[in-house]
Amino acid sequence: MNLGLERLTEDLTNTELFSQMFDDFPSGVMVLNVHTVLVYYNQAQGLIDDLKPRQAIGKTILELYRVGDNTNYPTLLCLFARRPLIDYPCFYYTHRGKLINSIHSVFPLMEEDKLRGCICFIREYGEIAGQYQKVADLGKKADHNASKNKPTLDQIITQNQIMRQSLDIVARAANSPSPIMLYGETGCGKEMYAQSIHNISRRRDKSFLALNCAAIPESLLEGLLFGTVKGAFTGALDKPGMMEMADGGTIFLDEINSMPLGLQSKMLRVIQEQKIRRVGGSNEKQVSLKIVSASNVHPQKAVTDGQLRSDLLFRLGVVMVYIPPLRERREDIPVLTKHFLKKLNQRICKKVTGLAPALEKAFEHYHWPGNVRELEHAIEGAMNIIPDDETILEPSHFASSLFGGVLSGLNLNVPDFSDGDDKPASTPLGPQLSVDQHKQVERLIQALENAGGNAAKAARKLNISPQLMNYKMKKFGLKKKVTVKAE
């Protein structure tokens, strides 16, 4: 039965909108009207079915496909029930007899109370299984790295009283079987806390596996956590989940507030009974796990907002630990800066001596929305583009995406921070220069002399960009006979 495009547009007139949204979509997408005729069919679905979109549009779902035994047409089920069908396993045969194992999510298209059709998203099971294996491999890699690097609580640098109290709490609770929940903003070090808890506990010789609940699609998360049995759905294999692989050790569930609510209910029994059952299986397995979870919002707010079940919070939050953001522990900024300079000098083979006093002051005033992680990346970004044996002087050394707004909230009387005018900061080797600046000027002058006054050549000798060379010469009032050109 082929109704033709004219008839289709009477039912669904927004096919151009579908095309704009889904032509480049990585998963297969089909749109059917109420007569089960395809009005839209994207390129990704064509690759799955070995079919061009123009060959599919205008045909009914029954003309194009035949489903396997004990399987229903997901689109027909959705149209009949007028309700979404999420992550429905299906295997079907294409018009050429090719067998496809797939997962379908189908949603009814309604205009007020009238059913207009449905939209179906299709993913091949092989692609999903590949993602499953990739995430499992990442979990094993995380376990290996944790064993190799062995971060411990004494490596968490702080002079802040609240931080010290939090470290004392987790040190006392590390050997207890009770779950620990960490909460704090992104970038404040929750995973380092979790690894440290594992590495100081009696479980340290067992596995440590970390999973970010917000990074895994809902259709994969349950199987990834609990494992699957062969035959649970089409293409399913016997695979242990991360909770089974972490038996005897520690599992870290980051952004637990992003875990689907249905899966949260299944977690309750695991925590209460320490038993797991693979997806599609009937046998339970006893496990011994230290569960450390983390939320990037206050847990009570997550409950209020409907992101976290209150009964799961009570079970996971037996020991609650707050990790304050960097802006609430500004006394840690200088010591963390010193630590990162030492660490990064070794990693990228530099000999950066420190930060200029004005920049240190700016660091203390900046609100650091990315917390400790942003601080480290900001320093690393600066160190990559300045010469060895130098002090980091200016915020202009920082990538704008990390530190572009450093002055927006400051009212500092620091003329060295501005390079917007053409006035030099001081005369060469004059009394306004610091000891470090004296050394920089001497190095610039020597490089220019060795290069015969060629500033671009001098920049290459100093291993800096011509633009930075030009900036430094202007800053320190050095006269030049040639114009620096970017090469």
187-223 pLDDT tens trace: 899 999 999 999 999 999 999 999 888 877 776 788 8
CATH number at residue 19: 3.30.450.20
C-alpha span between 337 and 362 (Å, rounded): 13
- 348, part of any domain: yes
Count H helices and E strands in the chain, helices first.
21, 17
Q: How many domains does the chain have?
A: 3
- 91, part of any domain: yes
C-alpha span between 49 and 45 (Å, rounded): 6
Which of 322, 353, 372 is the C-terminal boundary of a domain? 322
Rounded to the nearest 10 degrees, the angle between the axes of helix 218-226 and helix 261-273 is 10
Regarding whether 288 and 233 lie in a shared domain, the answer is yes
Q: Model pTM greater than 0.75?
A: no
The answer to whether the beta carbons of residues 386 and 472 sit under 8 Å apart is: no
Regarding whether 306 and 167 lie in a shared domain, the answer is yes
C-alpha span between 24 and 52 (Å, rounded): 15
- 139, part of any domain: no
Regarding whether 113 and 181 lie in a shared domain, the answer is no
Phi, psi dihedral angles at 208 (to 5 degrees)? -120, 115
Q: So what's the pLDDT on residue 10?
A: 47
Regarding whether 91 and 158 lie in a shared domain, the answer is no
- 96, part of any domain: yes
Regarding whether 220 and 118 lie in a shared domain, the answer is no
Regarding whether 172 and 269 lie in a shared domain, the answer is yes
Split at pLDDT 50, 70, 90, the class of 280 is confident
C-alpha span between 161 and 221 (Å, rounded): 38
Supply the range of the domain harboring residue 404. Answer: 328-475
CATH number at residue 189: 3.40.50.300
Tokens 């995973």 — which residue? 191
Task: Dump pLDDT digits (tens) for 240-260.
Answer: 888 999 999 999 999 999 998
Per-residue CA distances from 328 to 162, 301, 336, 343 (Å)? 10, 20, 14, 24
Which of 125, 158, 191 is the C-terminal boundary of a domain? 125
Regarding whether 161 and 121 lie in a shared domain, the answer is no
Q: What is the CA radius of gyration of the chain?
A: 30
- 141, part of any domain: no
Task: Dump pLDDT digits (tens) for 326-356.
Answer: 999 999 999 999 999 999 988 888 888 888 8
- 225, part of any domain: yes
CATH number at residue 420: 1.10.8.60
- 137, part of any domain: no
Task: Dump pLDDT digits (tens) for 33-82.
Answer: 888 899 999 988 998 888 888 889 989 988 888 876 556 788 998 888 88
Q: Which residue blocks in 50-186 are alpha helix, DSSP H?
A: 53-56, 61-64, 74-81, 125-149, 161-173
Which residues, other chains included, contact 421 with Cβ-Cβ below 8 Å and sequence gap of 6+? none
Which of 125, 141, 162 is the C-terminal boundary of a domain? 125
Split at pLDDT 50, 70, 90, the class of 139 is low
- 484, part of any domain: no
Q: So what's the pLDDT on residue 316?
A: 94
Regarding whether 158 and 62 lie in a shared domain, the answer is no
Q: So what's the pLDDT on residue 387?
A: 72
Count Cβ atoms within 10 A of the Cβ of residue 321 and give its class: 0-12 exposed, 13-18 middle, 19 or more buried: buried
Regarding whether 424 and 369 lie in a shared domain, the answer is yes
Regarding whether 290 and 165 lie in a shared domain, the answer is yes
Task: Dump pLDDT digits (tens) for 352-372.
Answer: 888 888 788 888 888 888 899
Task: Kindly report the three-state secondary structure assignment for every residue of 189-234.
Answer: CHHHHHHHHHHCCCCCCCCEEEEECCCCCHHHHHHHHHEECCCCCC
Regarding whether 305 and 176 lie in a shared domain, the answer is yes
Regarding whether 206 and 61 lie in a shared domain, the answer is no
Residue 124 β-bridge partners: 102
